[in-house]
Structure 1
């Protein structure tokens, strides 16, 4: 064992005060360094590092977080750091570090672990309104799905509880409750169950308005489409319209305006530009509902506050941001004259028409908005129509995806746009109709994929995503006829032969008395022009037997017929 030696003789010289203080401060540090050096020199060596208690986690995975290695000096400070790193992984419920003396002076280190249990089963119980698939789809959409073979996270489970409760409210059950239970199964598994108590159904029993004097309650209730007061003639019994949700009132993805927006639009369309519709006050009373078996329900009364204000008439209308079109031309789309009652719906219709006009000129990102400035004294409202025209766009590249068998050429000839031309939204709409009219693909319901082009800042690439559908038909049959006797026949026809857009048909029939063969081919774009050209080859033979005084004979015919046609307008063809 190594010891530190004492000084040989004591010195009697006097030191300066600041030197004494510095020496006193350095003494503890020097002592620690001396101890650490002595410890490193005399520390035993780590001869083995073990992992004990792991079931599913690989030994190598756990050792990845351990910096102590076999052959290193035994260092408890480093082991404490390894302990912290392992614990911070979140893989473990319990962790212990043990060390054992080995023969020869070495140290054997053991990390004794207890793994966290993993979720093996997730189930949802107690709800008739919400199915398991409905819940899982909603959780997946909101990135809150609890996956199998993951660790149980109470915070995430509580988030799922809140989402299921919100889904119950959307179904008209705001008094529902959800709680989760985690139960151990097997050695290291857990079953996570969400127990759902739907609570009583909440139904709208009465809708009343507060503050309305111009329009009656019945008139305002008639403007609401998603939430209705019970009644037979208003069809409230269809589609769950007697349930109230925030999405139905304020609007959601499928219905952006909601019933509140529809009420405000109704007032705007009648000149009440300062009208406001507030949040309903909801009161509940106990009741029962049902045709045969009465069930407890919560009856809702909605009291909707309304501030109508005064009716305004049209004042001055001016335009901002208008550079592409002339003001006189644009003004003609707004069917409003000074002095008439303000009607917001006329502005919306004008914007729809102007969107088509701008779109046909390449300004497909144009937007228009209305800025209203009411004058309470004159009861008129001045309008500023703001135009966000953006820049003019041109067609970059036109691409097609999903046409595995149909050639690009067949689709491209139906497109009313060319690369390099102005991006015309009206031509785009007609192109979609033309592609759907072919019948080769499933109907395209949405718009194609439009992305900025790499060719230029003012160009966009258009990708038409199509999905092939089978246009081939094969038939096989047979029968007996008094005229033709016994026969069998087979046919094959397609309207998109080899993906070239051609019509092809072959028909074969043979029997004891008759034979019939035909081959038909038709090309809708002969020589790459919208001209239909085709032919029909046929050979027919039928034998009539002698009967009584009638002599038998055989009728044999062979020939060809030609077909031609041309476009009539954009959607029809005439044939000769």
Structure 2
């Protein structure tokens, strides 16, 4: 006789059969890979064990949730000797032997697999097929296409039997075309027009004649997150503190709905955004709570608001930012503020704005260390800091110091450049600045020939970080048939370890181009000091000694005067030739000059800037007493 275990559990109390019938046999029906050992592992019973229906019932769910089976039934069959046989009937899930993607051209298969892996989905082979996992893969692929603007893409998983209890899963993808936003609508807005609200959205725009392409006219959920805040801020800045920006409805509209493919259907997107505006409020009062370090009146002056006017969120938040900056510049690095809006009692349209200040503890800078400077000396980086170990942690000066370090150009800060280690007991912040060396040394060798210079050799060496000390050294040599140039320059940006720089250069040049000769030699020296964080004032002196000679005649008729300049005359003697001093004109002289200058450079990188301003002005004075 065979009876179902589930019925037994209903009719008999738990544990009634403990010490009763013994399981003499376990028989598996319908299984290809599920064996007696598999059953014993998941159900927790084996041949020779007493029949314990409570334990089997408890482990039944564990067996089912293993994902190995599509159907599971456990039955008990009585044996003549009073013991039982356990009969387990199963229908195994097919195992996936291969995953394939078809139809994807815009997004490569490797990219899809990376996105699936990022979502925590592993395309494992020879594992039981789960429909929930197939649906999850399908949704992830659709989400990825939606992020790229292919909102009309479709994904159809197709299962193909490739062997006994084995399937191959192919995801057939119809990518369609990028779906652009044809219209953005608003519902419930009375204060602002649709056009005004659309202008407030910075990341998402309608397609128009002036904007036929671009990422902004493609719907993206991440961009909507930012634009929903932009819409809310517009209302908050005009006193509507209770505004609610609802979740938009994104509708696909097909121009050719009966077309055979998604691309030919020519979808566009219509976005409808619901708005609940609420009431407009005025600002009746501004109160600051929790401030003990600074007087309330001093903090209140940082808020450029007018009581009685329409409440403006951004104006209040700008004051909050000024308060936080003030605290953080004094070492209260955890200080923060929040604004609480309270409707004034007895008034329907007035707000009492309460600023709550959390000051926190005051911290000092502990150790300041650098990581990644394999060549640059710590001293060179440390001197750019406007904050010293033991000082109160001025976050304004700290951020400016980071900018100055990056501005050097030869030590580039990493994407996450600062590591903080807090010493809670001593209220110290130990800081490690992370960066990497950037090669700023140029060495060039060259040789060439030109019609003007003929053959020449050249060598140049230039570095902005000589020996890791931040000094600049330059050497240039060019020697050839007609011209020679030699120069040497050097500058020290922190002379005597102070914010004062010195530098100098010497040079010598000479060339002979048949019709003209020039020899020059000179030197220069510069001294300067830093002005503020980005300015410099300098005073330089230059000295140059020049001798030049150039031809003034080409031919001289017998007994005539020189004429037709630009070429060296034929050498004498010729009858009637003028004196040799008429063949050339000579010039020589010494120039001594002083040049005061002012420069400003707030660029974030001197070689590859992304932001900042740079300008330079100078006046050169020569002659007279010089």
The two structures share one fold, judged by TM-score above 0.5: yes
| Structure with more helix by fraction | 1
Deviation of 1:30 (Å): 13
Deviation of 1:271 (Å): 1.3
- Give the gaps of 5 or more residues in structure 2: 1-17, 25-36, 50-58, 70-92, 541-626
Deviation of 1:322 (Å): 1.8
2:295 is equivalent to residue 326 of structure 1: yes
Give the secondary-structure state (helix, strand or coil) at the position aligned to 1:570.
coil
2:360 is equivalent to residue 390 of structure 1: yes
Give the corresponding residue for 1:163.
Answer: 140
Query: Does the 8 Å contact 2:94/2:129 carry over to 1?
Result: no
Query: Does the 8 Å contact 1:201/1:297 carry over to 2?
Result: no
Give the corresponding residue for 2:312.
Answer: 343
Give the corresponding residue for 2:242.
Answer: 274
Give the secondary-structure state (helix, strand or coil) at the position aligned to 1:356.
helix
Name the CA distance, whole Å, in 1 between partners of 2:47 and 2:485. 98
Give the corresponding residue for 2:373.
Answer: 403
Query: Does the 8 Å contact 1:484/1:542 carry over to 2?
Result: no
Name the CA distance, whole Å, in 1 between partners of 2:511 and 2:184. 82
Name the CA distance, whole Å, in 1 between partners of 2:232 and 2:512. 82
- Give the gaps of 5 or more residues in structure 1: 1-27, 37-61, 67-74, 79-83, 94-115, 252-257
Query: Does the 8 Å contact 1:397/1:453 carry over to 2?
Result: no
Name the CA distance, whole Å, in 2 between partners of 1:132 and 1:360. 51
Post-superposition Cα deviations, 1:401-429, rounded to whole Å, max 9, x if no partner, equal: 22222122211111112122111111122
2:387 is equivalent to residue 412 of structure 1: no
2:254 is equivalent to residue 286 of structure 1: yes
Give the corresponding residue for 2:222.
Answer: 247
Q: TM-score, normalised by structure 2?
A: 0.62
| Structure with more strand by fraction | 2
| Cα distance, 1:199–1:232 mapped onto 2, change above 3 Å | closer
Query: Does the 8 Å contact 2:177/2:263 carry over to 1?
Result: no
2:233 is equivalent to residue 265 of structure 1: yes
Give the corresponding residue for 1:379.
Answer: 349
Name the CA distance, whole Å, in 2 between partners of 1:172 and 1:556. 66
Of 187-196 and 399-408, deviating more is: 187-196
| Cα distance, 1:193–1:455 mapped onto 2, change above 3 Å | same
Name the CA distance, whole Å, in 2 between partners of 1:556 and 1:280. 75
| Cα distance, 1:288–1:242 mapped onto 2, change above 3 Å | farther
Name the CA distance, whole Å, in 2 between partners of 1:267 and 1:91. 52
Give the corresponding residue for 2:103.
Answer: 126
Name the CA distance, whole Å, in 1 between partners of 2:126 and 2:292. 59
| Cα distance, 1:508–1:264 mapped onto 2, change above 3 Å | closer
| Cα distance, 1:30–1:259 mapped onto 2, change above 3 Å | closer
2:336 is equivalent to residue 367 of structure 1: yes
2:397 is equivalent to residue 427 of structure 1: yes
Give the corresponding residue for 1:23.
Answer: none
Give the secondary-structure state (helix, strand or coil) at the position aligned to 1:229.
coil
| Cα distance, 1:174–1:412 mapped onto 2, change above 3 Å | same
Post-superposition Cα deviations, 1:98-117, rounded to whole Å, max 9, x if no partner, equal: xxxxxxxxxxxxxxxxxx99
Name the CA distance, whole Å, in 2 between partners of 1:29 and 1:267. 75
Name the CA distance, whole Å, in 1 between partners of 2:167 and 2:128. 8
Name the CA distance, whole Å, in 1 between partners of 2:485 and 2:275. 79
Give the secondary-structure state (helix, strand or coil) at the position aligned to 1:228.
coil
Post-superposition Cα deviations, 1:137-188, rounded to whole Å, max 9, x if no partner, equal: 43343333547x8857645554332211222233344453334467799999
Give the corresponding residue for 1:109.
Answer: none
Post-superposition Cα deviations, 1:481-533, rounded to whole Å, max 9, x if no partner, equal: 78976431212111111222121222333345665544433322233233334
| Cα distance, 1:190–1:406 mapped onto 2, change above 3 Å | farther
The match for 1:229 among 206, 227, 238 is 206
Give the secondary-structure state (helix, strand or coil) at the position aligned to 2:304.
coil
Give the corresponding residue for 1:102.
Answer: none
Name the CA distance, whole Å, in 1 between partners of 2:67 and 2:244. 55
| Cα distance, 1:492–1:370 mapped onto 2, change above 3 Å | same
Query: Does the 8 Å contact 2:187/2:272 carry over to 1?
Result: yes
| Cα distance, 1:525–1:92 mapped onto 2, change above 3 Å | same
**What is the Cα-based RMSD across aligned positions, in Å?**
4.5
Deviation of 1:345 (Å): 1.4
Give the corresponding residue for 1:306.
Answer: 275
2:177 is equivalent to residue 214 of structure 1: no
Query: Does the 8 Å contact 1:288/1:294 carry over to 2?
Result: no
| Cα distance, 1:201–1:297 mapped onto 2, change above 3 Å | farther
Name the CA distance, whole Å, in 1 between partners of 2:231 and 2:187. 14
The match for 2:411 among 441, 459, 462 is 441
Give the corresponding residue for 2:28.
Answer: none
The match for 1:510 among 468, 471, 479 is 479
Query: Does the 8 Å contact 2:176/2:263 carry over to 1?
Result: no
Give the corresponding residue for 1:528.
Answer: 497
Give the corresponding residue for 1:22.
Answer: none
Give the corresponding residue for 1:567.
Answer: 530
Give the secondary-structure state (helix, strand or coil) at the position aligned to 2:265.
strand
Deviation of 1:130 (Å): 2.7
Give the corresponding residue for 2:554.
Answer: none
| Cα distance, 1:315–1:294 mapped onto 2, change above 3 Å | same
Post-superposition Cα deviations, 1:366-423, rounded to whole Å, max 9, x if no partner, equal: 2222211225844111111122222222212222222222122211111112122111
1:18-33 → structure 2 map (5 Å cutoff) = none
